[in-house]
């Protein structure tokens, strides 16, 4: 445990220099308040307290003295002259390292600074601008200039998702034990360095025994820590086990320190075997072995490549790298199969999030159709890659389970990104149909104009008036605007309802063109395109018929149903229903071309 008095002494020297504080003012205000010690203790030893703020403010007495206050939050007062922000590099301060290497501070002006110092700074905005523009920004620019940007982005993503869930344990040492260690001057301290009278002192021995019990309690908190990989991100699970191994190693180093060894030797000499035996059987060795076996999988896990992928191609490469590592390490790690399945679903969650992030930068509904289709093709490759590597992973997982004779676990993955995949496929099909409609009308307008030119003057005039009344392309564009500004990647219930309403508006607007297709003059003009559309639908129906003729048992759907452990009859019914739905879609396309009649 880091003693707050050490931090107090350091801050006292710092404030004298940075805030030009007077020793008397600090003693009369800051150090005389009991809450100050409590706040210092929380800052040094509580991982939840990240910062300290010390404020210098003017008094109403105008006697030349100042108030100094300390807090874990910043408050704004007109009497504030200056503020020092103090942050720590780690969750807790380590008593074995210099304090100046573990904290950093920032000096900020208060609103009352202009009354005491000659300055042109007139506002907090100027102070903030100066701090960021002349300190933080140049520091960041210099760092970026000497490092790879993608590597920086990856590290930033790690920090974003990093959860420090393992508390750092510092075992309290009795002052007499500490003095004995210092007296030994680097040699191994033995009970000879302890006063003989103390070796028989019941109060002293009971205090040591109480310390050992508190050590056991604190160490067991770390040993018994675990987590469910289905809660949170993949990188949080990875960091948890890596951090736990580090924490256990630090505990082991403390246990092997002279202070702990001497304490246990004294208790053993006094025949307090209950405390020493309990401490020896705490289970640290077994915990370290278990975590080490888990970390065969966690070490060098390339999840950062997925979280920081800048484009769809990199996402695909990251998935391949992740499961190449996974399938290799899974054969030699002791990480449980049940946790492994949850971790794969967490990877799917990460895939879902990074796809939304990357695709969100494209503005999918605004893209030129050619560029849109290129992106969609790349995304389709990502989903196909996922299906392939999951099949391979499933086979490896089953082999590992049989090899280790583990209790049977159903190998079933429920990908989080399934709904996003369905939405992307739907949007791709929607834009494809819209583009076909748009291009059909563009090409048909040319044919219509050519057909009108060969009519007599009266018919030509009537048809021209009819055609000119409708700006076909403008109406199609207006219809498309109803869906253009919707976040199509948001699959929440609320945004799905918004999309459905917009799609209904779009369909209402474009449905009128079905009637145009059956008018004699227009129909003759679009006959060529009509035949092409019908031929395409016929080919699609033919492919669907061949798929149905091959029977369910020879289909890829049967294989996927087995992977997901679906009953055969259920898989068959789902397969048949999907074919029926697809057939209805093709029939609807014919209806759109020929009309309901």
For 259, the enclosing helix (H) or strand (E) is helix 258-269
- Clarify whether residues 140 and 22 are in a common domain: yes
The DSSP 8-state label assigned to residue 568 in this structure reads H
pLDDT of the residue at 322: 95
Tokens of 135: 């300190």
Q: Band of the pLDDT at 120, cuts 50, 70, 90?
A: low
pLDDT of the residue at 405: 65
- Across the chain, mean pLDDT equals 82
pLDDT of the residue at 123: 60
Residues 6+ apart with CB under 8 A from 458: none
Q: How far apart are CA 118 and CA 86, in angstroms?
A: 26
* DSSP bridge partners of 106: 85
CA 591 to chain centre: 46
- Clarify whether residues 196 and 280 are in a common domain: yes
Sign of CA dihedral 120, 121, 126, 129: positive
Q: Is 159 a member of any domain? A: no
Residues 6+ apart with CB under 8 A from 39: 52, 70, 71, 72
- Clarify whether residues 12 and 130 are in a common domain: yes
Span 457-491, pLDDT tens digits: 434 444 443 444 346 678 888 888 889 888 999 98
Q: How far apart are CA 85 and CA 43, in angstroms?
A: 12
Q: Is 151 a member of any domain? A: no
Instruction: Render 134-146 in DSSP notation, one character per residue.
Output: IIIHHHHHHHHHT
Phi/psi-derived region of residue 195, left when phi > 0, alpha when psi is between -120 and 50, beta in every other case: beta
pLDDT of the residue at 452: 47
Q: Has residue 236 got a pLDDT over 70?
A: yes
- Residue whose token pair is 């798929």: 547
Q: Is 202 a member of any domain? A: yes
- Clarify whether residues 130 and 230 are in a common domain: no
- Clarify whether residues 314 and 396 are in a common domain: yes
For 105, the enclosing helix (H) or strand (E) is strand 103-109
Q: Band of the pLDDT at 13, cuts 50, 70, 90?
A: very high
**Structural domain for 95, as ranges:** 4-146
pLDDT of the residue at 465: 38
How many domains does one find in the chain?
5
Span 360-382, pLDDT tens digits: 988 899 999 999 999 999 999 99
Last residue of a domain, one of 412, 430, 459: 412
- Clarify whether residues 224 and 336 are in a common domain: no
The better pLDDT of the pair 131, 220 is held by 220
Last residue of a domain, one of 237, 272, 298: 298
pLDDT of the residue at 467: 46
Q: Is 189 a member of any domain? A: yes
Q: What is the mean pLDDT of residues 290-308?
A: 92
Q: Which of 415, 359, 366 is nearest to 560 (CA)?
A: 415
Q: How far apart are CA 190 and CA 183, in angstroms?
A: 11
Q: Is 155 a member of any domain? A: no
Main-chain phi, psi angles of 217, to 5 degrees: -60, -45
- Clarify whether residues 199 and 266 are in a common domain: yes
* DSSP bridge partners of 52: 86
Q: Band of the pLDDT at 112, cuts 50, 70, 90?
A: confident
Q: Is 156 a member of any domain? A: no
pLDDT of the residue at 160: 59
Q: Is 187 a member of any domain? A: yes
The DSSP 8-state label assigned to residue 132 in this structure reads I
Instruction: Render 360-414 in DSSP notation, one character per residue.
Output: HTT-TTTS-HHHHHHHHHHHHHHHHHHHHHHHHHHHHHHHHHHHTTPPP------
Last residue of a domain, one of 384, 412, 440: 412
For 184, the enclosing helix (H) or strand (E) is helix 175-184
Span 49-79, pLDDT tens digits: 889 999 998 887 777 788 899 998 888 788 8
- Do the Cβ atoms of 479 and 506 come closer than 8 Å? yes
- Clarify whether residues 208 and 280 are in a common domain: yes
Span 121-137, pLDDT tens digits: 556 677 788 888 888 88
- Residue whose token pair is 């403008």: 474
- Clarify whether residues 366 and 438 are in a common domain: no
Measure Cα distances from 493 to 365, 490, 496, 548 in Å. 20, 9, 5, 34
- Clarify whether residues 282 and 365 are in a common domain: no
Span 413-444, pLDDT tens digits: 899 999 999 999 999 999 998 888 888 777 76
Q: What is the mean pLDDT of residues 242-253?
A: 91
- Clarify whether residues 288 and 313 are in a common domain: no
pLDDT of the residue at 457: 43
Strands 66-71 vs 51-58: parallel, antiparallel or unpaired: antiparallel
Q: Has residue 299 got a pLDDT over 50?
A: yes
Q: How far apart are CA 306 and CA 320, in angstroms?
A: 10
Tokens of 234: 């993949």
Q: How far apart are CA 75 and CA 438, in angstroms?
A: 60
Q: How far apart are CA 240 and CA 226, in angstroms?
A: 8
Q: Is 483 a member of any domain? A: yes
The better pLDDT of the pair 590, 227 is held by 227
Angle at 530 between CA 529 and CA 536, to 5 degrees: 90
Please state whether the predicted TM-score (pTM) of the whole model is above 0.85: no
Q: How far apart are CA 379 and CA 135, in angstroms?
A: 41
- Clarify whether residues 472 and 548 are in a common domain: no
């Amino acid at each position: 445990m880091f003693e707050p008095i050490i931090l107090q002494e350091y801050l006292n020297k710092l404030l004298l220099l940075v805030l030009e504080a007077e020793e008397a003012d600090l003693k009369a205000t800051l150090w005389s308040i009991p809450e100050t010690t409590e706040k210092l203790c929380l800052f040094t030893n509580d991982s939840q307290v990240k910062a300290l703020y010390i404020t210098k403010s003017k008094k109403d007495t105008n006697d030349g003295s100042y108030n100094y206050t300390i807090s874990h939050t910043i408050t704004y007062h007109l009497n504030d002259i200056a503020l020092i922000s103090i942050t720590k590099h780690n969750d807790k301060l380590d008593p074995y390292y210099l304090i100046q290497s573990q904290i950093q501070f920032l000096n900020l002006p208060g609103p009352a600074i202009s009354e005491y110092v000659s300055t042109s700074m007139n506002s907090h905005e100027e102070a903030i601008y100066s701090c960021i523009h002349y300190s933080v920004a140049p520091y960041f620019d210099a760092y970026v200039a000497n490092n790879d940007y993608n590597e920086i982005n990856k590290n930033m993503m790690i920090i974003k998702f990093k959860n420090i869930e393992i508390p750092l344990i510092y075992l309290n040492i009795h002052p007499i034990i500490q003095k004995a260690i210092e007296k030994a001057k680097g040699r191994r301290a033995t009970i000879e360095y302890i006063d003989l009278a103390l070796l028989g002192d019941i109060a002293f021995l009971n205090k040591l025994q109480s310390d050992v019990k508190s050590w056991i309690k604190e160490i067991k908190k770390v040993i018994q820590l675990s987590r469910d990989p289905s809660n949170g991100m993949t990188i949080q699970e990875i960091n948890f086990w890596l951090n736990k191994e580090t924490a256990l190693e630090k505990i082991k180093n403390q246990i092997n320190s002279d202070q702990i060894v001497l304490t246990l030797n004294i208790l053993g000499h006094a025949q307090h075997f209950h405390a020493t035996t309990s401490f020896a059987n705490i289970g640290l060795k077994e915990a370290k072995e278990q975590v080490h076996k888990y970390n065969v999988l966690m070490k060098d896990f390339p999840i950062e490549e997925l979280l920081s992928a800048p484009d769809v191609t990199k996402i695909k490469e990251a998935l391949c790298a992740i499961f190449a590592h996974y399938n290799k390490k899974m054969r030699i790690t002791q990480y449980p199969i049940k946790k492994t399945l949850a971790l794969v679903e967490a990877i799917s969650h990460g895939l879902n999030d990074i796809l939304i992030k990357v695709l969100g930068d494209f503005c999918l509904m605004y893209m030129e159709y050619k560029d849109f289709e290129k992106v969609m093709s790349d995304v389709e490759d990502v989903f196909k890659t996922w299906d392939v590597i999951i099949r391979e992973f499933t086979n490896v997982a089953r082999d590992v389970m049989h090899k280790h004779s583990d209790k049977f676990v159903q190998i079933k993955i429920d990908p989080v990104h399934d709904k996003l995949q369905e939405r992307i496929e739907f949007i791709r099909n929607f834009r494809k149909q819209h583009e076909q409609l748009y291009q059909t009308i563009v090409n048909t307008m040319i044919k219509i104009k050519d057909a009108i030119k060969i009519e007599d003057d009266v018919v030509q005039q009537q048809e021209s008036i009819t055609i000119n009344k409708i700006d076909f392309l403008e109406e199609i564009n207006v219809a498309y605007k109803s869906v253009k500004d919707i976040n199509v990647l948001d699959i929440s219930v609320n945004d799905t309802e918004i999309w459905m309403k917009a799609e209904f508006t779009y369909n209402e607007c474009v449905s009128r063109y079905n009637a145009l297709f059956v008018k004699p003059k227009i129909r003759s003009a679009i006959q060529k395109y009509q035949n092409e559309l019908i031929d395409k639908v016929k080919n699609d129906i033919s492919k669907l018929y061949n798929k149905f003729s091959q029977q369910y048992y020879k289909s890829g759907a049967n294989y996927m149903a087995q992977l997901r452990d679906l009953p055969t009859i259920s898989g068959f019914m789902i397969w048949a229903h999907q074919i029926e739905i697809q057939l209805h879609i093709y029939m609807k396309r014919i209806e759109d071309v020929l009309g309901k009649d």
